[in-house]
A and B are shown apart, each in its own frame.
Chain A
Amino acid sequence: ETGVTQSPTHLIKTRGQQVTLRCSSQSGHNTVSWYQQALGQGPQFIFQYYREEENGRGNFPPRFSGLQFPNYSSELNVNALELDDSALYLCASSTSGASTDTQYFGPGTRLTVL
């Protein structure tokens, strides 16, 4: 059984650019959640996708957008990058969108915005 994978591992961008991060969910999981973890802080919920539909969103601006594909993999897109977007981006997959579900996390993508 393959766990949650994310690509790339590290990324460096400049202000104003756009970035796409990718996540492959664990086998059998149809839900993917994305989190932003700034240095020294806990993860902050960005949004969740369940069966290709957005199923909840945290307090992030519209320039953070996502997609989920028929195979339940997912992308996080961030437009007009700002310095404060520098963080570890984590995705997690689960068997459904229920609050009781265990979320299985990938290793993250470290984004640096210069």
Chain B
Amino acid sequence: AQSVTQPDIHITVSEGASLELRCNYSYGATPYLFWYVQSPGQGLQLLLKYFSGDTLVQGIKGFEAEFKRSQSSFNLRKPSVHWSDAAEYFCAYNNNDMRFGAGTRLTVKP
């Protein structure tokens, strides 16, 4: 079955530390992959997306993600986390119907 898996339900990092959020997908063809962020009480905001070409994708707010076909992964990274990055992060793929992972909640320690 087609699915998106985010193995980490909750991650805590210190402000200024690096961050990596994991995402694995299960789909035969190359999917169209997205990372969204959701702050409390708000809708989802697109951070970045991958369709083809360069497997390292740059997004907003200093985020980047790397598509690895061999590992069926699309992990999100940020070199230095800010307190304002605390939120829920969702990985998704779209093949006529957008499928989201369960999300990873990021807590940032001072």
Contacts of B92 in A (CB 8 A): 42
Residue with the greatest number of chain A CB neighbours at <10 A, chosen from B49, B51, B90, B97: B97
Q: Which of B32-61 contact A (CB under 8 A)?
A: 32, 34, 36, 41-46, 49, 51
Instruction: Describe B's contact surface by its main secondary structure.
Output: strand
> Does B78 make an interface contact (CB < 8 A)?
no
- Number of B residues with CB within 8 Å of any CB on chain A: 24
Number of A-B residue pairs having CB atoms within 8 Å of each other in the complex: 54
Contact A45 B99 (CB under 8 A): yes
- What are 11 contact pairs spanning A and B, CB under 8 A? A4-B43, A42-B101, A43-B100, A48-B97, A56-B97, A99-B96, A100-B49, A102-B49, A104-B46, A105-B44, A105-B45
B interface residues (Cβ-Cβ under 8 A, vs A):
4, 32, 34, 36, 41-46, 49, 51, 90, 92, 94-103
